[in-house]
Amino acid sequence: MGDHSHHHGHGKDLDWNAMGESIELRAEVYRPLYAQIIDAVRERMPDPSLIIDAGSGPGVVSCALAEAFPRAEVVALDNAPALLERAQRRADAAGLRVRTLLGQIPDAFAGLAGADVVWFGHSLHHVGDQKAALAAAARAMAAGGLLVLLEGGLPARWLPRDIGIGRPGLQARLEAAREEWFAAMRSALPDARHEVEDWPALLAAAGLKPAGTRSFLLDLPAPVPPKVRDHLIAMLEREREATAEHLPAEDLATLDRLLDPDDPAGLRRRPDVFLLDAQTVHFAVKE
Ligand SMILES: C[S@@+](CC[C@H](N)C(=O)[O-])C[C@H]1O[C@@H](n2cnc3c(N)ncnc32)[C@H](O)[C@@H]1O
């Protein structure tokens, strides 16, 4: 299921509007990875006119797309108004052509047509009926259009196996706990439908032609700059709340030390913090 650690809210129901800052920070840290994906999009679609960023959040990627394709109109589609306000502010400040569209996926696609690129960045797995979302996106695409689906990859790693405090292997246990959280999050979604996460098969079921799957690496070795630490601390704070019920007390104590800004063994101060992540992207074309 890949890296879905970055955007978890506190409970099973996410309050997206309150998460603008942390989603934005994460996307900024991941900019080098998104730049590689955008290059891969450009190879397939050199001069798009209309790009839809479906589940854009605060628009870091919408702006990166607008910058990479200055001739295109980028539509940032999301159902969280506070996030779209951030997206609009970011675009205006950079003088980029981004139009925000407040609406629900899949329904909001009905008002869109002729898209050359539809980008789903970690958003599809937050929609209850993922098949309906892909089918609606496909209908809004131009012939020859490209769907770019970011789902799956490897869970991010940011500390060595043995960190000198607590029981080694903390991150592996966090990942297992996160899977429990993720399953509960998905089943609580409106219109929740269970799907086997064979993404190319789901794209094909939406009437699109799968056009390749590739994974992209984010490799930020230690020592990392403060912004990367900020992101990891924000991510771990959310993750601690989301997974607390599934973790042993010893691990919760270790997390508290990692989150303590004054602890030399904490994420703010320790020298061995890095960020290694792999994001899988599934491409599909509308014939
Ligand atoms: C994890 S964030 C990803 C944001 C952005 N794509 C990025 O990569 O930084 C998921 C986004 O999907 C939006 N979202 C979730 N379900 C949605 C739905 N049914 N309709 C529209 N947007 C939705 C959330 O508001 C949130 O902004």
Give the tens place of pLDDT for each residue, 173-212. 999 999 999 999 999 999 999 999 999 999 999 999 999 9
User: 57 CA to middle of ligand 1, Å?
Assistant: 5
CB 52 within 8 A of CB 77: yes
| Mean pLDDT calculated for residue range 59-83 | 98
Q: Residue 13 — very low, low, confident or very high, per pLDDT cuts 50/70/90?
A: confident
- Name residue 74's beta-bridge partners: 51, 98
Phi, psi angles (nearest 5°) of residue 32: -60, -35
Q: Rounded to whole angstroms, how far apart are CA atoms 257 and 159?
A: 14
**Between these two residues, 247 and 7, which has the higher pLDDT value?**
247
> Which H/E stretch holds residue 98?
strand 98-102
Ordered DSSP codes for 215-256: EEEEEEPSSPPHHHHHHHHHHHHHHHHHHGGGS-HHHHHHHH
> Which H/E stretch holds residue 33?
helix 31-44
Tokens 């980008």, residue?
Answer: 119
Would you say residue 121 has pLDDT above 70? yes
* Ligand 1 atom nearest 24 alpha carbon: 9
Structure confidence at residue 72 (pLDDT): 98
- What size, in residues, is the chain? 287
Structure confidence at residue 150 (pLDDT): 98
10 inside domain: no
Nearest CA to ligand 1 atom 9: 27
220 inside domain: yes
Residue type, 72: A
Q: Rounded to whole angstroms, how far apart are CA atoms 84 and 88?
A: 6
Chain segment 267-278, per-residue pLDDT in tens: 999 999 999 999
272 inside domain: yes
The token duo for 271 is: 């020298």
Residue 252's closest CA among 236, 265, 271?
Answer: 236
Residue type, 185: M
Would you say residue 5 has pLDDT above 80? no
Cis (ω within 30 of 0) for the bond into 226?
Answer: no
239 inside domain: yes
Note the pTM of the prediction, 2 decimals.
0.95
Q: Rounded to whole angstroms, how far apart are CA atoms 91 and 242?
A: 32
107 inside domain: yes
* Ligand 1 atom nearest 7 alpha carbon: 1
36 inside domain: yes
CB 131 within 8 A of CB 266: no
Phi, psi angles (nearest 5°) of residue 178: -65, -35
69 inside domain: yes
| Substitution candidate for ligand 1 out of 22, 29, 78, 101 with most atoms within 8 A of CB | 78
CB 149 within 8 A of CB 268: no
| Mean pLDDT calculated for residue range 70-80 | 98
- Name residue 150's beta-bridge partners: 121, 281
Q: Residue 89 — very low, low, confident or very high, per pLDDT cuts 50/70/90?
A: very high
132 inside domain: yes
User: 90 CA to middle of ligand 1, Å?
Assistant: 17
Which residue segment(s) compose the domain that 195 sits in?
16-285
User: 2 CA to middle of ligand 1, Å?
Assistant: 16
Q: Residue 10 — very low, low, confident or very high, per pLDDT cuts 50/70/90?
A: very low
Nearest CA to ligand 1 atom 11: 55
Q: Rounded to whole angstroms, how far apart are CA atoms 64 and 236?
A: 26
The ligand 1 site (C-beta within 6 Å) comprises 7, 16, 23, 27, 55-57, 60-61, 78-80, 83, 104-105, 121-123, 126-127
| Substitution candidate for ligand 1 out of 4, 16, 30, 123 with most atoms within 8 A of CB | 123
Chain segment 215-234, per-residue pLDDT in tens: 999 999 999 999 999 999 99
> What is the tally of structural domains in the chain?
1
Q: For residue 117, give the CATH number of its domain.
A: 3.40.50.150
Structure confidence at residue 11 (pLDDT): 55
Mean pLDDT of the chain: 95
Structure confidence at residue 14 (pLDDT): 84
